[in-house]
């Protein structure tokens, strides 16, 4: 049996070390997401055959193991072990190159892509330069914000600003109650992030104008050359604030990362349009392995 235990703050160093050795581009593998959303879903972990196994028990998901690699037959074996507890178990986040590395995987799993959970990945430099016709409107909105609020400041997210961030997020959430179920869960994930701030490998920036917050973002390292933006909120009454926080976040990453992962659209039409409007360089696919009998 898998000796599963609930993930907690004490496991953060373990996650950091495993992900340093076996980096993955999908945002679900980020330490921040594993801990802050994982606290909501009661994520679990185990070490099995020299691999780190991560489990989301709420949905019966087993993350594709982190480690040197298991043969397809062994992958099916450990999923079978968990199926004794959760018959509807699925293997999520199958690597995009599985057909090359594990060509026989389809003998044991039916692999499907979940488009709504694919990650949008952009070049940091493109998000800063905003060159070309597709991004020209974004550049104009950044310039418009700068003209309207020339004395705006960019401040780092620090514990003394957590209360301001939560109040700002509460206001943002109330104004978007059409998607309230998801937003309520996200708000809890943001609270969890701030509560674990000193333990998590995260950082963030706040855009302020005359002591009034315009926007903020929270992000962290995903791989050696990629960062992931976990949360980003802006004041819709301040035109250009959405584009500015995107731009300033990319500027904060310049020189440290080549790519920025802006996570998924979850099948929300408005969110998909917003993410597509920045012309992603590529998508990190979310592949699910459904066990075959």
132 and 232 assigned to the same domain: yes
Top-confidence residue, 182 or 69: 69
Give the residue from 218, 193, 27 showing the smallest Cα distance to 117.
Answer: 27
Mean pLDDT to the nearest integer, 262-268: 95
pLDDT at 181: 67
96 and 209 assigned to the same domain: no
pLDDT at 2: 75
162 and 248 assigned to the same domain: yes
Residue 118 confidence class, pLDDT cut points 50, 70, 90:
very high
Residue 275 lies in a domain: no
Of all residues in the chain, what percent carry a pLDDT higher than 90?
A: 90
Residue 182 confidence class, pLDDT cut points 50, 70, 90:
confident
17 and 96 assigned to the same domain: yes
Distance CA 133, CA 138 (A): 10
State the Cα angle at 19 between 119 and 24, rounded to 5°.
25
Distance CA 141, CA 137 (A): 6
Distance CA 57, CA 63 (A): 11
Residue 36 confidence class, pLDDT cut points 50, 70, 90:
very high
pLDDT at 88: 92
Quick: pLDDT tens for 184-235: 899 999 999 999 999 999 999 999 999 899 999 999 999 999 999 999 999 9
Residue 105 lies in a domain: yes
pLDDT higher than 80, residue 177:
no
Q: Please give the mean pLDDT across all residues of the chain.
A: 95
Mean pLDDT to the nearest integer, 275-282: 98
Residue 281 lies in a domain: no
pLDDT at 31: 98
13 and 64 assigned to the same domain: yes
10 and 135 assigned to the same domain: no
Quick: pLDDT tens for 93-114: 999 999 999 999 999 999 999 9
124 and 103 assigned to the same domain: no
Are 206 and 157 spatial neighbours (Cβ–Cβ below 8 Å)? yes
Residue 284 lies in a domain: no
89 and 187 assigned to the same domain: no
Distance CA 61, CA 194 (A): 26
Residue 158 lies in a domain: yes
Residue 74 lies in a domain: yes
Residue 280 lies in a domain: no
Mean pLDDT to the nearest integer, 228-251: 97
66 and 158 assigned to the same domain: no
Quick: pLDDT tens for 147-172: 999 999 999 999 999 999 999 999 88
Q: Is the dihedral of CA 235, 237, 243, 244 positive or negative?
A: negative
pLDDT higher than 70, residue 180:
no
Domain of residue 27: give its range.
Answer: 5-117
Q: How many CB atoms lie within 10 A of CB 57?
A: 17
Q: How many domains does the chain have?
A: 2
Q: Residue 259: how many CA atoms within 13 Å on its side-chain side?
A: 20
179 and 230 assigned to the same domain: yes
Last residue of a domain, one of 91, 117, 143: 117
Residue 178 confidence class, pLDDT cut points 50, 70, 90:
very low
State the Cα angle at 66 between 69 and 89, rounded to 5°.
95
123 and 257 assigned to the same domain: yes
Residue 290 lies in a domain: no
Q: What is the CATH number of the domain that holds 220?
A: 3.40.630.30
**Residue 230 φ then ψ, to 5°:** -85, -40
- Full-model pTM: 0.95
88 and 16 assigned to the same domain: yes
Last residue of a domain, one of 117, 144, 169: 117
pLDDT at 127: 98
Alpha helices, DSSP H, located in the chain = 12-21, 31-41, 72-83, 98-101, 124-129, 136-148, 162-174, 180-195, 241-253, 269-276
Last residue of a domain, one of 100, 117, 134: 117
pLDDT higher than 60, residue 179:
no
């Amino acid at each position: 049996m898998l000796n599963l235990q609930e993930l907690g703050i004490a496991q953060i160093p373990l996650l950091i070390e495993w992900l340093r050795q076996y980096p993955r581009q999908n945002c679900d593998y980020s330490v921040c997401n594993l801990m802050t959303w994982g606290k909501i879903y009661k994520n679990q972990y185990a070490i099995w055959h020299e691999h780190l196994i991560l489990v989301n028990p709420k949905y019966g998901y087993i993350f594709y193991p982190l480690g040197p690699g298991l043969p397809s037959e062994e992958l099916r074996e450990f999923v079978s072990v968990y199926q004794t507890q959760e018959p509807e178990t699925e293997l999520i986040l199958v690597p995009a190159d599985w057909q090359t590395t594990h060509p026989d995987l389809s003998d044991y799993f039916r692999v499907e892509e979940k488009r709504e959970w694919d990650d949008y990945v952009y070049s940091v430099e493109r998000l800063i330069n905003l060159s070309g016709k597709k991004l020209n409107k974004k550049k104009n909105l950044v310039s418009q914000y700068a003209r309207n609020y020339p004395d705006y400041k960019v401040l780092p997210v620090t514990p003394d600003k957590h209360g301001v961030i939560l109040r700002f997020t509460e206001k943002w959430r109330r104004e978007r109650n059409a998607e309230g179920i998801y937003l309520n869960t996200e708000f809890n994930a943001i609270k969890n992030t701030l509560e674990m701030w000193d333990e998590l490998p995260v950082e963030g920036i706040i855009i302020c104008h005359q002591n009034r917050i315009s926007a903020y973002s929270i992000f962290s390292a995903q791989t050696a050359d990629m960062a992931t933006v976990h949360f980003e909120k802006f004041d819709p009454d301040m035109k250009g604030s959405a584009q500015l926080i995107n731009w300033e976040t990319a500027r904060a990453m310049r020189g440290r990362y080549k790519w920025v992962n802006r996570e998924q659209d979850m099948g929300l039409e408005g969110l998909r349009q917003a993410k597509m409007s920045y012309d992603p360089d590529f998508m990190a696919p979310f592949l699910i392995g459904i066990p075959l009998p």
